[in-house]
Amino acid sequence: MRSPITVKLDPDFEDIIPQFLENRQIDLRRMAEALERADYETLRVLGHGTKGFGESYGFSYISEIGSQLEQSANQKSPDKIKRCVSGLTDYLDRVEVIYE
């Protein structure tokens, strides 16, 4: 198993972060479904939203992946999209939040 990724956040976020992370899991499923259909517009929109959500909640890596996903969807590059989805999956599996 790979090592955890620790993200330190303000305690004010403690009530909303679990739902935020669950919503990213839902987005992952939507991304996988859109990729199967080669629905690049849905992937672009999901990438754009992910880019905006991540930084707002203190998860800069999620924003980076969202930006890459949006660009990859614009390029209609399924291989790049798969790498983005895989990277986000790995990150969400490993992230541990510490409130301080």
Query: In this predicted model, what pLDDT tens digit does every residue of 27-81 receive, in sequence order?
Result: 999 999 999 999 999 999 999 999 999 999 999 999 999 999 999 999 999 999 9
74, 44 Cβ separation under 8 angstroms:
yes
β 95-99/5-9 pair status: parallel
Instruction: Provide the whole-model pTM.
Output: 0.92
